[in-house]
Structure 1
Amino acid sequence: MPLTAAAASREILTGLHDIMASRGSTQSKLDQVVDLIADKMRSEVCSIYLLRDSSLELYATHGLRKEAVHVTRLKLGEGLTGSIAGEGRILNLAEAADHPAFAYRPETGEERFHSFAGVPILRSESAIGVLAVQHAEPRRYEDVEIEALQTVAMVLAEMIAGARLVDGSRRGQAGTGALRLAGLRLVTGMAKGTAVFHQPRVVVEHTVADDTEAERDRVYSAFRKMREQIDAMTREAEFGPSGEHQEILATYRMFAYDEGWSRRINEAIDSGLTAEAAIERVQQRTRARMQEIDDPLLQERMHDLEDLSNRLLRIVAGRMGTAADIGLTGDTVLIARNLGPAELLEYDRRRLKAVLLEEGSLTAHMTIVARAMGVPVVGRLSDIRHSVNEGETILVDGDNGSIIIRPNRSLVSTFEHRMAVSQKRRAEYAAIRDLPGRTLDGADVSIMVNAGLAEDANLIEATGADGIGLFRTEFQFLVSASLPGRDRQQKLYARVLEAAGDKPVTFRTVDIGGDKALPYMRDKADEAENPAMGWRALRLSLDRTTLMKAQTRALLEASAGRPLRIMFPMVSEPWEYEDARRLVEEQVAWAEASKRPLPCRIEFGAMLEVPALAEMLDVLLPRLDFLSIGTNDLTQFLFAADRADPRLAERYDWLSPAILRFIRRVVRAASAANVPVRVCGEMGGRPLEAMALVGIGVQGLSITPAAVGPVKAMVRSLNHAAISARMDHLLDHPPRDMRKTLSDWAKRNAVVVG
């Protein structure tokens, strides 16, 4: 095998060019192709499978039995080749039979071959076939061989599509009746609009270059133009000169100037590809690697690179138009495989009503920007781009993560009624915005918001919240390309405090590690089977004290002259809290010795997320100023149920007597010690669950901004003495269905629970 991917690919591409230009049937050409690849890669087997009549058909082979050609067929997802086509991913196996998807086909005579490597043949992002090689010797294929296969697969896609050998594109086969799809709720809100595709896919028609230097010049020119566009977007972003949104765009800009990315495209051109084919070749490799990465943060960074690749491809192909460039003419629901933050910013906010994605996640940069823009987003809508045609009506329920395509008149009427009800409720919540969270019999319940961005502090006034009960400081770390320095942290915290005015803000020290691993702060030891229970949060901070010292100094400087409320996450034992508090107090002493301004007072708190801490409250409470119960992690630890596992989503209930009894015990212990308790987490943001929490003595909630109105309305319709007596009875004599029992009680007592 040649030493470089470029040399290997160039040698094969030269032969492919001659085969494509020769006379003869497509079958004879593909027979020559597998012989050529087998010869140049010194492979004992080379096979091409094509997607025909919704299954993969062995169309040409070198090394397997010829009588299996046009006989061996595999469904999408069946066998190794079916898995490659179905998932659009690469397989590289030293022992093919050990893979769980392996399906033996005796007519092929493949039993003597052990190693297997296969790559999808892609056209318009869909697999139309598979190119595979095999050896008798058990071994994994080198990266140079896999890259050569991918390059060849691109050229084959052009040949196969031109000969019309495979199933046509699924676009346009969306159907005619109403279709309801469920996805992942990324940004809440309801919207109605017509479907518009974000970008027409640039189909690479010519893959083999005639003049390598000319193709290189085209890429250089496209890079210059793309970087000018990104620089202009960074300057003109609507969020102002500072904040996390600006940091996101700065990270995006960093990718645009990444020399490694441009070098890989140049190497692909060296192998004999056109500029368009080289960009797509590198993009395919990036997608393949992204599928192998479990780290959500790194996957999001890959999405930014995908966005930039699409932009570069459109520039070099002279097809600059996206839906944003053409201009939206009416209320629009934008549809995309994925979307980068810069591309979202190009759209007219007056027309853009919602975004639907095949991919997407809660931590994606685009999601963060969309939330700031107030645009509902639903992600993980598998095959959405093939389920709808442009111009069709779509109803988007971002609150539930569902959509309806091509709704009939009845569905539209029902949806519009729900939107009207939602608007009426928002008006009702607005009417009580400036009123206190006080029950009918005069018991006060503090209702605060959870936040993670400087701009979130503005939601205190917008929602009528009593302050920020939990500011997640790790978000700045998650969106940054490198570790944020003390100055950057200090500026963020100062902006939050300034925006909050005289309302309290509780800063939680950084909760990273485990399932929030950072690429610039990771090592092999961070890779745990259960990251949520691993080396994260306070455990990591106490191990890497430099990180915590820098954050503490930033908090002290930002809070100069004001109260500072600092909270430590995931405290398991009192000594961890003591060590963390001692570290903060050492920084206070340092600041005093340095004559630096300090907060007027410091309040220390802990998050009770680990059940073991409840057994040590008698030791911990005398040292606490406040206690927060983190119900998200606490619940999964109590029930041994991973909240990220959809199979377990319904296996535990926040209104289970077990969790309510646990929280009641903690609240009673804290009350006896005169330590205020606040519940932070999704549980407190649901009116019925919040009613139960108030009934067991919780006097403070920190919830999502959208939940403040509904929860305050519930509190103001509730009799505190009545719910307290009812909860005591129910927890002493648990009913079979606590949720129904509480719902019925709320109805009988006119408590507003939605």
Structure 2
Amino acid sequence: MPLSAAASAREILTSLHDVMASRTSAQAKLNAVVGIIATAIDSEVCSIYLLREGVLELFATRGLDQAAVHVTKLALGEGLVGTIAEDVEVLNLDEAASHPDFAYKPETGEDRFHSFAGVPIIRRERSVGVLAVQHTDRRKYADVEIEALQTVAMVLSELIANAGLIDTTGGGADRPQSTAAMRIPGQKLVDGMGAGYAVYHQPRITIEHTVAEDTDAERHRVYAAFDKMREGIDRMTREAEFGVGGEHVEVLQTYKMFAYDEGWARRINEAIDSGLTAEAAIERVQQRTRQRMRQIDDPLLADRMHDLEDLSNRLLRIVSGQMGTAAQLGLRQDTILIARNLGPAELLEYDKRRLKGVILEEGSLTAHVTIVARAMGVPVLGRVRDIRRLVAEGDMLLLDSAESNVFARPSAAMEEAFDARLAMRQKRKAAFAALRDVPPITKDGHRLTLMVNAGLRDDVAALDVTGADGIGLFRTEFQFLVSATLPQRERQQRLYKEVLDAAGERPVIFRTVDIGGDKALPYLNKEDSDEENPAMGWRALRLGLERDGLMKVQARALLEAAAGRTLNVMFPMVSEPWEFDEARALFEAQRTWLEGRGRKMPLAIRYGAMLEVPALAEMLDVLLPRIEFLSIGTNDLTQFLFAADRANPKLAERYDWLSPSILRFIARLVSPTRDAKVDLAVCGEMGGRPLEAMALIGLGIERLSITPAAVGPIKAMTRSLDRAALTKYMAGLLADPPRDMRGALTAWATENGVEIV
């Protein structure tokens, strides 16, 4: 046996190169391959099993009964071979029959063999077969032999894929394990429907050649790719710095450590020494990393392995020349985008005319990309497990996030049902659009104020489209989230002025930047980098007051942008009145500073606060005399009241906005604010749902700030509503709450002809 894994693999690959280049049939090549491997590692048996139509079929063997070829078949998870394929793991046993998953197949004649070793044949992160060796002696195979088998398995994946041996439908490993029409469930993140062809955000890299012609040339290609990758990491480190120390520095330093890790580079060079091309060598080392990741329970170590995985992908893209995301390559047709996760900046790179929907393996309701997608009007389905295994690029997809489903390769019946739902949805949308110039007045003559939430310059167009009364929440953090570096004062000022110009006479309420916690910025130094509960941590106003340099820059930008107009400023996550006082004093100090330099200032400044922290409700008597308006942020308020993180999918559906506890809490705020002549609004998803909005109106809420898409449905509901009757009914419900508050309100709406869509 050769002394090293590289030498062992090289000996086998040298022989395999001639076999792969021959003009014989695929079956003949596999028959030759098992003989070469068995001889090279002095094994009495070598067998190749391939996955075809979901079943592992014995395709070639040396040492087992030839009559078993194409006869012996194992399901995924069945026997030792099935276990290897299902778990994508190696087995190395000195006594095969002692393993709990052992399954005896008498037609193979394997009963006289004791030792067994098998490695998965992997293509595009999934098993497409198994390479196994057996021996009569009771012994485990040496590590160098296992390493050699894994390297050979890489080459086999190329051979069998090129020969189309994996799937009788011809799709091979590039296709999902099923090509039938199927419904795939997920979690609705952004409501909507869309049809298009599947496109991966990170296009898969196809390794065309695995066996090297010139080892020195392959090594030179890897060295050049390492240099280019390291230059990029160094540049990112320089450009991303903000402040001194902090989490982002630690993350980038870890990245840099891996990028310059000689051990990683050495392992790739060893794989090249074994006879692999540069691309195959990187992928071979990456396969080992993935196997280690599956065995790691420590989340910190797992994160570090994910860093190495990301760098491996970066290096592979450089060496293969296949750079860029799908956005940078350009969308050619109506597209449903598929990704493990996305950042807001990455989503904004896509052509909105062709992007019809997004499917995420991960994702959450409060993720940055979800907020941006909602603003863009792009439906998003998240938490879709195994989507990349179930769907291939180019598959037709029908995304219906309203029903929390995506239909892959739809049947005619699926398409017909989807089209019917889409037509009904578009009809409703047209009816809502017709209400653009109709005011939201209840049947008994009460005028409500409907405003929209925004965060991007283009969002302001929703004012004219929906006929909304203004922007009740402009999320200034969007500019920070989609930027690679801290936005300078001039950039911030330009954005705020453009928004005010586009809004005209309609009011715009700017919320100061709400970052930190789960909205971490890579260029922002955050001392408390390991928060267990980021939603309740160092974020929003807490961060702004501590990092007053950031807030001072934003204050100056807002003050100068609003010159000659009224400026509405709202501070997020106020916990106690003194925090509001400190934030207001900071703005006033900046106004004084600018006035002293002759800058033109706003005609008036209206200050407000967001009530998201329940503690603030106990201090309203102190706070109300100091503010002009108060906005209830139902998203955060609800999770704090229930101690339920809405970003956690296990808890996302555990509470209801129509719970008596939430409604009673909000009801307590109405009278004090009204008596103090302070405008009270609800600003969050709760106000954008017709039934929930109806309940809020019944509590006395007269101002809602909601997503643009919700304005039409809320207008329609409002105009069909008798507010006085509802107010009386709500008072009775809160005094003696029913067990099913949602059911009671739905029944009342139906009985009284309220339009709830």
What residue in structure 2 maps to residue 567 of structure 1?
570
What residue in structure 2 maps to residue 95 of structure 1?
none
Equivalent pairs, count: 637
* Cα distance between partner residues in 2 of 1:174 and 1:450: 43
TM-score, structure 1 length as denominator? Answer: 0.71
Q: Deviations over 1:104-157 (max 9, x none)?
A: xxx99xxxxxxxxxx9985312257999xxxxxxxxxxxxxxxx9999897354
Match of 1:315 among 314, 321, 330: 321
- Of residues 366-375 and 673-682 in structure 1, the stretch that sits farther from structure 2 once superposed is 366-375
Match of 2:651 among 641, 648, 651: 648
Match of 1:619 among 614, 619, 622: 622
What residue in structure 2 maps to residue 66 of structure 1?
94
1:279–1:313 Cα contact (<8 Å) kept: no
* Cα distance between partner residues in 1 of 2:102 and 2:580: 58
Amino acid at match of 1:627: L
Instruction: State the Cα RMSD in Å.
Output: 4.9
What residue in structure 2 maps to residue 161 of structure 1?
157
| 1:732 and 2:735 matched | yes
1:223-234 → structure 2 map (5 Å cutoff): none
| 1:474 and 2:477 matched | yes
1:216–1:266 Cα contact (<8 Å) kept: no
Q: Deviations over 1:287-333 (max 9, x none)?
A: 899998899x99999999898667546536xx9998997985x7555
Amino acid at match of 2:623: L
Alpha-carbon deviation of 1:680? 0.8
Match of 1:496 among 481, 494, 499: 499
1:303–1:338 Cα contact (<8 Å) kept: no
* Cα distance between partner residues in 2 of 1:53 and 1:285: 15
Match of 1:510 among 505, 510, 513: 513
Amino acid at match of 1:13: A
Q: Does the residue aligned with 1:648 lie in a helix, a strand or coil? A: coil
Classify 1:698/1:215 alpha carbon distance in 2 versus 1 (closer, same or farther; 3 Å). same
Match of 2:603 among 587, 600, 603: 600
1:54–1:167 Cα contact (<8 Å) kept: no
Amino acid at match of 1:719: D
What residue in structure 2 maps to residue 39 of structure 1?
none
Alpha-carbon deviation of 1:596? 1.4
Amino acid at match of 2:659: S
What residue in structure 2 maps to residue 26 of structure 1?
37
1:355–1:378 Cα contact (<8 Å) kept: yes
Amino acid at match of 2:688: G
Classify 1:391/1:72 alpha carbon distance in 2 versus 1 (closer, same or farther; 3 Å). same
Classify 1:749/1:349 alpha carbon distance in 2 versus 1 (closer, same or farther; 3 Å). same
Q: Does the residue aligned with 2:528 lie in a helix, a strand or coil? A: helix
* Cα distance between partner residues in 1 of 2:644 and 2:289: 33
What residue in structure 1 maps to residue 214 of structure 2?
210
Amino acid at match of 1:203: I
Which of the pair has more CA radius of gyration? 2
- Of residues 547-556 and 278-287 in structure 1, the stretch that sits farther from structure 2 once superposed is 278-287
2:293–2:305 Cα contact (<8 Å) kept: no
2:494–2:561 Cα contact (<8 Å) kept: yes
Classify 1:727/1:28 alpha carbon distance in 2 versus 1 (closer, same or farther; 3 Å). farther
Amino acid at match of 1:451: A
Match of 1:458 among 443, 458, 461: 461
Q: Deviations over 1:651-685 (max 9, x none)?
A: 32111111111101111111111111010111001
Q: Does the residue aligned with 1:647 lie in a helix, a strand or coil? A: coil
- Of residues 554-563 and 304-313 in structure 1, the stretch that sits farther from structure 2 once superposed is 304-313
What residue in structure 2 maps to residue 421 of structure 1?
424
Q: Does the residue aligned with 2:279 lie in a helix, a strand or coil? A: helix
* Cα distance between partner residues in 1 of 2:596 and 2:524: 31
What residue in structure 2 maps to residue 85 of structure 1?
none
2:375–2:455 Cα contact (<8 Å) kept: no
* Cα distance between partner residues in 2 of 1:482 and 1:527: 22
Amino acid at match of 1:466: D
* Cα distance between partner residues in 2 of 1:666 and 1:524: 35
1:18-167 → structure 2 map (5 Å cutoff): 18-21=11-14, 26=37, 54-55=85-86, 61=92, 66-68=94-96, 71=99, 73=101, 122-126=122-126, 155=151, 157-159=153-155, 161=157
Q: Deviations over 1:574-620 (max 9, x none)?
A: 11111111111111111111211211111111111111111110011
1:571–1:613 Cα contact (<8 Å) kept: yes
* Cα distance between partner residues in 1 of 2:695 and 2:265: 62
1:368-383 → structure 2 map (5 Å cutoff): 375-383=378-386
In structure 1, list runs of 5 or more residues that go unmatched: 1-9, 33-48, 76-106, 109-118, 132-147, 228-254
* Cα distance between partner residues in 1 of 2:145 and 2:683: 51
Amino acid at match of 2:490: D
TM-score, structure 2 length as denominator? Answer: 0.71
1:13–1:208 Cα contact (<8 Å) kept: no
Q: Does the residue aligned with 1:677 lie in a helix, a strand or coil? A: strand
* Cα distance between partner residues in 2 of 1:301 and 1:675: 50
Amino acid at match of 2:501: E
Classify 1:259/1:700 alpha carbon distance in 2 versus 1 (closer, same or farther; 3 Å). same
* Cα distance between partner residues in 2 of 1:413 and 1:346: 32
Classify 1:311/1:591 alpha carbon distance in 2 versus 1 (closer, same or farther; 3 Å). same
What residue in structure 1 maps to residue 59 of structure 2?
none
Amino acid at match of 1:26: I
In structure 2, list runs of 5 or more residues that go unmatched: 16-32, 44-79, 104-113, 132-143, 232-251
Alpha-carbon deviation of 1:268? 7.1
Alpha-carbon deviation of 1:337? 5.9
- Of residues 273-282 and 416-425 in structure 1, the stretch that sits farther from structure 2 once superposed is 273-282
Q: Deviations over 1:353-403 (max 9, x none)?
A: 444454566788987887677554434422234334677653211334411
Alpha-carbon deviation of 1:466? 1.4
What residue in structure 2 maps to residue 38 of structure 1?
none
Alpha-carbon deviation of 1:690? 0.3
Classify 1:56/1:691 alpha carbon distance in 2 versus 1 (closer, same or farther; 3 Å). closer
1:305-704 → structure 2 map (5 Å cutoff): 312=318, 315=321, 333=336, 353-359=356-362, 375-388=378-391, 393-523=396-526, 525-704=528-707
What residue in structure 2 maps to residue 113 of structure 1?
none
Classify 1:206/1:58 alpha carbon distance in 2 versus 1 (closer, same or farther; 3 Å). closer
2:345–2:481 Cα contact (<8 Å) kept: no
What residue in structure 1 maps to residue 9 of structure 2?
16
Classify 1:587/1:313 alpha carbon distance in 2 versus 1 (closer, same or farther; 3 Å). same
Alpha-carbon deviation of 1:17? 1.9
1:252-291 → structure 2 map (5 Å cutoff): 270=269, 273=272, 274-277=277-280, 280=283
Classify 1:696/1:388 alpha carbon distance in 2 versus 1 (closer, same or farther; 3 Å). same
2:397–2:407 Cα contact (<8 Å) kept: yes
1:454–1:495 Cα contact (<8 Å) kept: yes
Q: Deviations over 1:440-478 (max 9, x none)?
A: 222121111112222212222222221111111222222
Q: Does the residue aligned with 1:520 lie in a helix, a strand or coil? A: coil
